[in-house]
């Protein structure tokens, strides 16, 4: 099914005479937020200790947030973003784009509930909207690797920067 922008929708929900069912999938927001924070910290070549000190949070807790094991409060997230020199809205926009694309990927993410399917062979899927690309490699129903890439246009014409997380 084509979208108004001309791209192929990987998860159509219906059409003339056809009905599709969409599997229920769950993206853990804390993991996507953690990936975005870790990516920014590593781009700056800063250590966990430097950022945790600047954000006034323990090194261990910041590490758990980056690994998606703990959820940061809005105040703590704002403090971490400030320590990284990033606007909270930028980080949340990046997270939102990643989650939106991941939700569109058919049969890649782990279904929610007790009726999860049996393990499938490792499979790779890639979806892009022109600005953000999401690639997922699923090894088992409980193990998937999510890689996002964002194209950022430079203020100088003819130059494009690609940032991968």
- Ranges of each domain in the chain: 24-164
Between 105 and 61, the higher pLDDT residue: 61
Position 1 scores a pLDDT of 43
So what CATH class is 24-164? mainly alpha
- The whole-model pTM stands at 0.54
List residues bridging with 134 in a β-sheet. 127, 148
pLDDT tens digit string along 108-162?
444 444 444 454 455 666 667 777 777 777 766 666 677 777 766 544 554 444 5
Query: Phi, psi at residue 39, to the nearest 5°?
Result: -60, -45
Position 22 scores a pLDDT of 45
Q: 125, 133, 127: which is closest to 162 by C-alpha? A: 133
């Amino acid at each position: 099914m084509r979208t108004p922008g001309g791209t192929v929708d990987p998860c159509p929900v219906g059409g003339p005479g056809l009905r599709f069912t969409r599997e229920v999938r769950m993206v853990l927001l804390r993991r996507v937020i953690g990936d975005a924070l870790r990516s920014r910290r590593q781009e700056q070549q800063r250590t966990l200790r430097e950022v945790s000190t600047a954000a006034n949070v323990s090194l261990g807790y910041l590490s758990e947030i980056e690994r998606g094991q703990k959820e940061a409060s809005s105040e703590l997230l704002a403090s971490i973003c400030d320590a990284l020199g990033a606007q909270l809205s930028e980080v949340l926009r990046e997270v939102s784009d990643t989650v939106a694309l991941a939700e569109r990927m058919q049969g890649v993410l782990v279904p929610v509930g007790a009726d999860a399917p049996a393990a499938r062979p490792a499979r790779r899927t890639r979806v892009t909207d022109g600005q953000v690309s999401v690639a997922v490699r699923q090894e088992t129903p409980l193990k998937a690797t999510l890689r996002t890439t964002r194209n950022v246009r430079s203020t100088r014409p003819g130059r494009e920067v690609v940032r991968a997380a």
